[in-house]
Structure 1
Amino acid sequence: MENIKKYDWAKSIVNQLHERVEGSLQKHQSDPNAILNSVPAFAKDDRENSEQKASPLASAHNKVLALASDAGYLYYLTQDEKYAQFAADILGVYIDHIAPLTPQTTTICGYEFFDPRTTYGPFAITYDFIYPYLKQANATVYSKTQKKRIPFDNAKAQKAMANVAGNVLQEYGKPDKHGKTISNHPILTASGALFSILCIEDDKERQRLFNVFWEKGTAHQNSFKNTILPMFGEQGVWPESLSYSFMPIITMTLNIVDRIYPEMNVTQENQHILNGNFLFDYLRHPNRKFVRFGDSKRNNDSTEDLYLYTLNIAERRGYDDIKQKAQLALKQSYEAKGGYKPKLEDNIFNNFQILDLFWGQPIPEKIDGRINFNKPTVIVKHAGIALQRNYVAKENEIYGLCGIIGGASYVHSHLTGISMELYGAGYVMGPNAGLPASVKERQIPLHEKYFRLYAGNNSVIVNGSSHGLDEGSWKGDAYVWQNNAVNIAAEPKHLENPIAENFSFATQFLKDEVNNCVQERTLSTIRTSEKTAYYLDIFRSKSNGENKFHDYIYHNIGDETIIKNEKGQLLSLKETDRYNNDIGDPVQSPGWRYFENTKVTESIKDGVDVTFKIDFDKKYMHMMVPKGVEREFTTALAPPTREAENGYLKKKTQVVAIRQNGEAWDKPFIAVFEPSLNSESSVQSVEPLMDGNKVVGAKVISKINKTLITDYIICQDKADSVYSNKDLKLNFEGRFGIVRLEEVKRKKKVSLYIGEGKKLGFAEKTLIVNEEYKGFKLFN
C-alpha cells in the first residue's frame, strides 16, 4: 500500500486492474449470467487435446479466470466485497464442475501439460485472495442452475482444490527418479501445483502434498529439490537453449517456499541460482536482442521478472551483494526501455504477473556503480557456447561487434557442431537457426530436416555426412545428439576485464565421436577504429578416418551475394546439384537439400571476397577468404531467417558454402567478416600466415582514413606451439597472439598482444608475460 501511494508504477498496475474489471463487474451486477455464461465448455479428459487444440480453449478459460483473479486482487487491496463477490461467482462455476471429479478425471482444457500452466494458477490465486470473504458465515455465490444466490460451500471448494493439486502431481502415475535429466515441463507446471497445494486447509494433507511436490516428486511433477534443482550447474542457469533457460518460475517458487517455510533455508542453499539470473543480460547483441542457440527466440525476455523475484528474496534475507546487483540490473533495464511502465497482458502462461505489485521493491534513485554487461567474453558451459564482443561507447548498436561460437547436446538443442552467429551494423547478419513462431511449425520438415541440423546453421560439415544420433537426443526421432563443445582458451576469461580494448578471442573444441572427427573454432573480435572492426573466424576440422572433403557453411541475411577474386573480378558461376543429397537417415542429414539456386565457381586457389548486400538501409557484410588453399565456392539461397527484421523475415537467406578437399586442420578455413555501412570494406587484404605447409594465422591489412593497419594474427592449435617467421622477424610461443603495426604520416606504432602464450617478439620489440599467459604492450 505504501508503494501504491508513492510510486507511479504501482498506481499504474492498480489502475489497470480497475480498467480490466469494472466493466464486466457492472454487467455481472445487473445480470450475473452475462459473465457466467461466457465460461467455455470443459474438456472431459486431461489427455483429450493436443497442444494446438488445447491452446484456444485454455485462452478462452483464462479470459474468464483472469477476471476472477483480477477481482480477487482488488478485493485484497480495497477490502470492497463487491470484488470478492464477483470473483466468487466465477469461481463457483469452476468449483461446481471440478469438485465431483477425481484427480484422474480433473481437467479444464483437456491437456495435462497446459492446465497447470494456464488455468489452475488463476483458479487457485482467486480462491487464495478472496479466502477471508469466502470463510464468512454469510458468504454466497450465484448458482447458474438455480438462478439465485446460494451459500458458498467451502468443503466443495476444498474438494475441487484437492482434485486440481492431485491432477498436477499425478500420484496415481509412476514415481520420480531423483537425479535424472528432465525437460522444463515440471518447472512450467510447478506454479499450478504449488498454488493449489497451498490452498489446502487441512494442515497434515497440505504438508503431505507439499512434501510430494518438494521432496518425493512423481514422474509427472518431479521433485523440486531432488530432481529439478540439481540440474542447475555451477553457473546457476537452467541447462536449455537461451529463451527456455530464464525459468522465472524457479526463483518465484524459491521465494514462495522461503516465505512459508523459512526454516528450510532454500534460498541460502541456492544462491548460485540467484546469481545465475544475471547471466542472461550478458548475452545480448548490441541491439539488445538475445543471441540465439538451439530452440531459442531472440525476443523472449524474462530478465525483469528474475530480478524482481531475486530482489525480493535478497531484501528479505539480507543478501546485500545480490540485492545491489538486482537493483542495478533493474535500473539499467528500465533505463534501456525508457522507464518502468508495467503493462498487464493477457498472457495465458504468465498468470502471476500481478506479483510484481505485491513483491515489487522500490529502486533507490541513486545506487553506487553499474553492472558492465558488455564483457568481451561470456561462456555458457552447458550449451558449449563462447561469446565474443567488442563494445564501443558511441553508437554501439551500429558499430559494436558480438558473435557466438559453439554447440552441445542439451534439452532444446540443435545439431550444429561448432556453429557461429555474427552481429553487425544493426542486424544479426549471420544467424543461428532458432525456433519457429508456432508449436505447429516445429513438427514440419523444414524445422526437423534443415533448421535443426548442420546445414541450417553456420558450421563445417565433414565428408558430406555430419549427423547426430537419436539415442540420447532430448526429443524422440530428432537425431540431434552430439558431443559438447568446450572452451579451451579465451582472453579475457569468462566475465573478466580485457587487457586490450581492440583484441579478444575464444576457442571452442569439439571431440565429435558421432562423426569420428575433431574440430576447433576460434572467433576473435578485432577493432581498427571507433567505427570499424572485423571478426576473424578460424575453423580447424579433420576426420579421424578418411578426409574426403569439408564444407564451410555461412548464412547472411540480404538481397544479393557478390563473389569476386582478390583482384576484384567477378567469379563465374555454374549450376550445381552437389547439395541435393543426404546420408539417408530419417532427418536427411546434413540438411542441405533446402539450398536453392546453387551455383559454384571453378576450383580456385586465389583469395576470394564476398559481399552480402542489405538493400533496405544499405548495409553490408564483407567476407574475405585468403589465398593458398584450393577451394570451390557455392552461392545459394536458403529458407528465410527467423525473427529477421526490415522485411528479411520473408526473404530467402543468402548462403555461401566453401568446399575444400582433404583435411581442414593444418589448412583451416579462415574468414574475415566486416559488417559495414559502406559498399567497400576497410579491410584491404587478407593473406595466410604459413609455418611450412601449415596455416597458423592471417595477415590482415586495413585502411582507416590515412592510417594503414597491419594485423599479424597467429592462431595455433596448441598452447605451447612455437611459430617463427624470419622474413617478418616475428616469433611467438603460444596459442593466440597479435602484432599490430599502425602507420600514418611516416609515424609507426606497434602493439603486441598475447591472448594465450608466453612470448611474442616483432623486430626488436618483445612481450614476455607472467603465469597468466596473457599480456599487451604498446610501442610508439
Structure 2
Amino acid sequence: MLITKDIKPWFSLVKTAVGICCLSFSTLALSSSSQAAEIERPSIWVKNSERAAILEKIQSEPWAKSLFDELKKRADLVAVQGNKKRRNSLEALPLIWFEDKSLPPVLPTFRHKDGGSKEQLTQVVKTLQDGVDCGVLYYLTQETKYATCGSDILFTYINALKQMKVHKDGAMNSGWMFPTDHLYEARVIGAQLPIIYDFVAPYLNSGGQVYDLASAKLTNFDFPTAQGVFGTYVWLALNKGLLDSNWPVLESSSLVHNILALDDSQQIQKFIPYYTHIDTKNQASLKKVAQHFVNKGDIWPESFQYSRHVAGFTVYLMTLLDRYDPSLKLGAKYPNIPGAFTSYYNLEYPNDESPYIGDGHRTYKIDYADLENSLLLAKLNNNKQQEEYFTTYLASSIKSGLYDRGHLHSRSYGASPYFSPLQLLWSVNKIQSKTEMDVTPPRPRTTRLEFAGMNIQRNISKKDPVKNSLMAFVAGGSYIHGHASGMDMELYGQGHVLGVDGGKGTYRTDIHENYYRLFSAHNTVISNGASASKGDWINLGINRVKSELMEPAAGDAGVSPKHSFSTSSFFDEYNLVAPAQHERTLALIKLDETKGYYLDIFRAKSNTPNQYHDYVYHNIGDKLSITSNNQGVDLVADPDRYQDSAKLQWITTGQRGYKHPGWHFFDEVKTKSRSDQQYEATFTASKLGDKNISMRALIPAGLDIEISQVKAPKAYGGSAPYNKKPLPTFLLRHQGEAWNNPYAVAYESITEGENYAIQSVERIQVNGVFKGVKVGIKLSGKSLTQYILTQENGQERYQDKKLGIDFTGRFAIVTLDHKQQPTEMYLGNGSYLLYKQHKVTANPKTNSGYLKL
C-alpha cells in the first residue's frame, strides 16, 4: 500500500490549558545545538560513571555474566555490519514506501480499521526492543556495530513518524502511529525511542552516521527531528490521557523517558514536575497516584493485574528519577507504593491463586524485577526496613530456587514498555541476608480490601493445607475494571476454587459486557430480575459492599481456631424495578484438619409489592445433580425463564446501557415448581485430578422456592479444563421478601473416597423469624450437632429453654457431641452465649469469645 506524500511543517507551539506545548522542530533545533553539550549521555537508565562498576559486576558475578551473555546473543542477531546487511535488517520492518522513492518509507498505523496487522505490530515492537538491546551493548562494549544497529533503528522510526499525522485534535486517546490509541502507543513506541537515543547519542554526537533507506547511503542523524518527536510524545502524554484511571501510570514511562531525552536541560527541569507533582486535566502526577497508597498495605484500586502494573511501573519510575536526581527522594516520600508488593500475597488462596474480581485473572507471576527495583529504591532512600525486607525476600527466593537472577525475562510484544536490560544494569551485585525468610508465610485469617468491598476469610489446615484448607470471600464495589457483581462470593475446596466468579470475556463483546460484567455471572442474589448498575466507570457503578461484622477482624488471630464469620451488606440501589437491600452472613466452620464447611445466609428485600429474589450459585464441574432426601427431583424445561433481559437495549455508545442482569445467556434451563422442601445440589468434577471432586450444597426446608438448574457460560477463572466448559449453576427463586426467613445454604466439598461430614441441615425459626440452622454431622464415626445462630442485631435474644441455649447477639455456634454435651462454644458477636451451666461472656473490646470444653 502506498501513502501519498503528506509532509507538512511540524505543527507550531500548541498551547494547552496548563501552558504545555507540543514543541516544534524549529524550536528544538535551536535548543539542541545550544544545550546538548550540557547533558552527558547516557543519562536516563545509567550514566557513564557507572559503566566500570557494571563491567566489574559482569566479571565478578556469575548471574550478571549470564545476563550479559544472553543480552549479547540476542543483540548479535541484529547488530550487523556493512550497508547491505544494515539495509536487509531494516527491511524486516513492514515498510510502506511513497510513490516518490526518494522519500524515506513510513510504517503502518495500528489498532484501527484498515490498520496494520498483528504480525506487523509485533515486528515493529520487536525491532524497537532490539534497538534498546543494541544501545545497552554499545554502552557496555563500545563496539560500533551495536551503535549502528540502535542508530539505524532510531533513525528509521524518526523518519517514519515525521511524515505521519499527529492526531492532536482527535479524541481523548488519539495518538500518532496509533491514531486512536495513544495509551498503547505510549508503551510500545513512545517509551522505547528515548532509551535508544540516550544510549547511541555519544556515537551520533561524535560523527557516527546512520543508514538512510531512501538514499541507500550513510547520512548524518537528524537531531532536530528527533527532538521534535520526543517533544511530541511529551505533549501526547500530557494531553491525550484519562485522568482518573491507571492510564496516567501506563503512559508515564513514555512521558518521563521523552522528557529526559530532550537536549535542553531547562526544558527537562520544566517538564519533570508534570510527572512528580503537577497534574493536567489528562495526566495525573505521581503525587496524585500516591493518594491511593496512604496506608501501609494499600494497593491501587483496580482489578489485580492492573493494580500490579501500577505498582510496578510507578516503582520503576521512582527508582529511575531518584537515580537521575537524588534530591527528589521519591522513594522516601511514597514508601507505601513499593510496600504494595507485600499485600498481594495476603489476598491469595492456599493454592496461590487469586480471588477473581473485576476484569482480573486467576493467577499472577511474581515479577522479581519489581522487587529488585524496590530494593534499589529502598537503598537510594535509606529505608532500612524495606531494604531488609526485599533483601531477605529475594535472597530466600534465590535459595529456594524460585528466582534465578541469571536469566533475562521473556520478551513481551504486547502493551508494555521494555525494561529487561535493567536486570543487568540496575540490580545490586549481591543479595545476601543474615536471616532466612519463609517466602510463603501463613496468610492472615481475615483480610479487608476496602475499594473492592471485599472480606476474605481463611481457616488453614495443618494437614495438607492446599487440599484441606477453607477460604472464601464476599465482595462487590465500583472501581475501574470492576464488575456490577452485587454481593459476590467464591468458595475454595480440595485445592481448587470451586464456587467461582464468571471472570471476564473479550472486551467490547456482547457476552463480556452483558454477562461477565453483570450480576448473573457472579454468586450473588438478583432482586426483581432487575439488579443493575449506573454511573461511575462505564456505567457499571454499584454501591460498595459494606463490612458490618467480621470475626476475626481484619488481620487479627481470632478467638476460635475453628470458626469465623462475616456479615456484609449491599444496597441494590440501581435495580430497574425497585431498590433492594441485601445482607450476607458467611461462616467458615472447621471440624478437624481434613473436614469443614461453609454456611451462607443471604437476606434480601425490596420495597415493591411483587418483589422476588433469585439466589445464584456457579460451581465448576461436569455435572450438577439436584436431589431431595436422596431422590432425584423432577425438573421441567423452562427456556423462557431468564429471557427478559435479552429484550433490553445494549447501548454501546459511551457504554450507557446493558442488558441487566445478564441471565439471558443461561442455557438448558430446567425448573422445579415451588416447594418448601429440602434440596441437595451436588456438583461433580472428574477432570481436576485422578479422583472426582464434589461440592454439595444443602438447602434446608422451610422456605418456598423454585429451584432451577442451568448451564452458564464458561468461567475464565475456573481450573483447567473447566475454564473452557459451560458452568453448572443453580438458582433459588423466592416470591416475596427473603429477609425474616432468608436463603440458607451449607456447602461442603470432598474428594472421591471421602464421606461428607454434614448429614442434615434444619432451619431454626421462632414465630416465622429465622434464627439460624441446626447441622447434623458425622465425623470419624461420631455424631455431632451444631447450632449456628444468627440474628439481625446485637440486642436480639434467642432462647431454647428445653435445650438450654440462651444467646444475645449476632452470631454464635454451639457444638454438641453424641451425648448432647458441649464440646465448643463460639460467640462470634454478641453479649453472651449460654448452654446449660456453660457460659461464654464477650470480650468488651471485640464482642466475641470462645470456650473449648
TM-score, normalised relative to structure 1 = 0.90
Q: Which residue type is aligned with residue 384 of structure 2?
A: D
1:470-515 CA-partner distances (Å, limit 9, x unpaired): xx2312xxx4221111112112222232332222222221133223
Alpha-carbon distance, 1:659 to partner? 0.9
Task: Write out aligned runs for 1:121-140 (5 A).
Answer: 121-135=191-205, 137-140=206-209
Residue 600 (structure 2) aligns with: 537
Q: Which moved more, 1:193-202 or 1:119-128?
A: 119-128
Residue 55 to residue 381, structure 1, CA distance change in 2 (3 Å): farther
Q: Is the partner of 1:347 in helix, strand or coil?
A: coil
Q: Which residue type is aligned with residue 713 of structure 2?
A: P
Residue 432 (structure 2) aligns with: 364
Residue 302 (structure 2) aligns with: 240
Q: Is the partner of 2:136 in helix, strand or coil?
A: helix
Residue 638 to residue 255, structure 1, CA distance change in 2 (3 Å): same
1:701-742 CA-partner distances (Å, limit 9, x unpaired): 322222333322222232343322223312222222222234
Q: Is the partner of 1:198 in helix, strand or coil?
A: helix
Residue 520 (structure 2) aligns with: 455
Q: Is the partner of 2:643 in helix, strand or coil?
A: coil
CA distance in 2, matches of 1:522, 1:299: 27
CA distance in 2, matches of 1:30, 1:52: 30
- CA RMSD in angstroms comes to 2.9
Alpha-carbon distance, 1:752 to partner? 1.9
CA distance in 2, matches of 1:393, 1:51: 58
CA distance in 2, matches of 1:759, 1:9: 61
1:665 equivalenced with 2:733 (yes/no) = no
Alpha-carbon distance, 1:459 to partner? 0.6
Q: Is the partner of 2:472 in helix, strand or coil?
A: strand
Unmatched runs of 5 consecutive residues or more in structure 1: none
Unmatched runs of 5 consecutive residues or more in structure 2: 1-53, 97-105, 169-174, 651-657
Q: Is the partner of 1:735 in helix, strand or coil?
A: strand
Task: Write out aligned runs for 1:486-505 (5 A).
Answer: 486-505=546-565
1:37-72 CA-partner distances (Å, limit 9, x unpaired): 122347789897269967554422111111111122
Residue 592 to residue 443, structure 1, CA distance change in 2 (3 Å): same
CA distance in 1, matches of 2:586, 2:448: 13
CA distance in 1, matches of 2:81, 2:209: 18
Q: Which residue type is aligned with residue 356 of structure 1?
A: Q
Q: Which moved more, 1:66-75 or 1:371-380?
A: 371-380
CA distance in 1, matches of 2:128, 2:82: 14
1:639-697 CA-partner distances (Å, limit 9, x unpaired): 11114333222221101001112111111111111121037422111122334322122
Residue 148 (structure 1) aligns with: 217
Is this contact kept in 2: 1:27–1:34, CA < 8 A? no
Q: Which residue type is aligned with residue 746 of structure 2?
A: V
1:351-384 CA-partner distances (Å, limit 9, x unpaired): 1133233333443355255473521211111111
From 383, 397, 422, the equivalent of 2:452 is: 383
Residue 777 to residue 12, structure 1, CA distance change in 2 (3 Å): same
Task: Write out aligned runs for 1:312-711 (5 A).
Answer: 312-330=376-394, 338-340=402-404, 342-348=407-413, 349-361=416-428, 362-364=430-432, 366-367=434-435, 369-370=437-438, 372=441, 374-436=443-505, 441-469=506-534, 472-475=535-538, 479-515=539-575, 516-546=579-609, 548-565=611-628, 567-576=629-638, 577-582=640-645, 584-586=648-650, 587-616=658-687, 617=689, 618-678=692-752, 680-711=755-786
From 270, 291, 299, the equivalent of 1:230 is: 291
Is this contact kept in 2: 1:47–1:112, CA < 8 A? no
CA distance in 1, matches of 2:758, 2:61: 52
CA distance in 2, matches of 1:140, 1:327: 44
CA distance in 2, matches of 1:65, 1:685: 65
Residue 191 (structure 1) aligns with: 253
Q: Which residue type is aligned with residue 751 of structure 1?
A: E
Is this contact kept in 1: 2:110–2:178, CA < 8 A? no
Is this contact kept in 1: 2:498–2:718, CA < 8 A? no
CA distance in 2, matches of 1:3, 1:719: 64
Is this contact kept in 2: 1:385–1:405, CA < 8 A? yes
Residue 327 (structure 2) aligns with: 263
Alpha-carbon distance, 1:223 to partner? 3.3
Q: Which moved more, 1:3-12 or 1:352-361?
A: 3-12
Residue 202 to residue 758, structure 1, CA distance change in 2 (3 Å): same
Residue 200 (structure 1) aligns with: 262
Is this contact kept in 2: 1:536–1:671, CA < 8 A? yes
Is this contact kept in 1: 2:110–2:177, CA < 8 A? no
From 200, 209, 226, the equivalent of 2:271 is: 209
Task: Write out aligned runs for 1:272-311 (5 A).
Answer: 272-301=336-365, 304-311=368-375
Alpha-carbon distance, 1:759 to partner? 1.6
Is this contact kept in 1: 2:841–2:849, CA < 8 A? no
Larger Rg: 2
Residue 89 to residue 542, structure 1, CA distance change in 2 (3 Å): same
Residue 709 to residue 269, structure 1, CA distance change in 2 (3 Å): farther
Task: Write out aligned runs for 1:3-42 (5 A).
Answer: 4-5=58-59, 7-26=61-80, 31-41=85-95
Could you tell me the percent identity over the aligned residues?
A: 28
Residue 721 (structure 1) aligns with: 796
Alpha-carbon distance, 1:298 to partner? 1.6
Is this contact kept in 1: 2:812–2:829, CA < 8 A? yes
Residue 834 (structure 2) aligns with: 761
CA distance in 2, matches of 1:507, 1:57: 53
Is this contact kept in 1: 2:408–2:420, CA < 8 A? no
Q: Which residue type is aligned with residue 454 of structure 1?
A: F
Alpha-carbon distance, 1:747 to partner? 11
Alpha-carbon distance, 1:328 to partner? 4.7
Is this contact kept in 1: 2:108–2:116, CA < 8 A? no
Q: Is the partner of 1:494 in helix, strand or coil?
A: coil
Q: Is the partner of 2:387 in helix, strand or coil?
A: helix
CA distance in 2, matches of 1:740, 1:132: 77
CA distance in 2, matches of 1:61, 1:47: 10
Residue 28 (structure 2) aligns with: none
Is this contact kept in 2: 1:754–1:773, CA < 8 A? no
Q: Which residue type is aligned with residue 662 of structure 2?
A: G
Residue 12 to residue 492, structure 1, CA distance change in 2 (3 Å): farther
Residue 731 (structure 1) aligns with: 806
Is this contact kept in 1: 2:81–2:145, CA < 8 A? no
Alpha-carbon distance, 1:147 to partner? 2.6
1:116 equivalenced with 2:190 (yes/no) = no
Residue 723 to residue 585, structure 1, CA distance change in 2 (3 Å): farther
Residue 140 (structure 2) aligns with: 77
CA distance in 2, matches of 1:508, 1:403: 13
Residue 47 (structure 2) aligns with: none
TM-score, normalised relative to structure 2 = 0.83
Residue 131 to residue 400, structure 1, CA distance change in 2 (3 Å): farther
CA distance in 1, matches of 2:81, 2:781: 74
Is this contact kept in 2: 1:286–1:400, CA < 8 A? yes
1:91-136 CA-partner distances (Å, limit 9, x unpaired): 221233335678657733443221111112221222223333333x
Is this contact kept in 1: 2:827–2:848, CA < 8 A? yes
Residue 156 to residue 590, structure 1, CA distance change in 2 (3 Å): closer
Q: Work out the number of aligned pairs and report it.
A: 759
Q: Is the partner of 2:775 in helix, strand or coil?
A: strand
Q: Is the partner of 2:676 in helix, strand or coil?
A: coil
Q: Which residue type is aligned with residue 325 of structure 1?
A: Y
Is this contact kept in 1: 2:177–2:185, CA < 8 A? yes
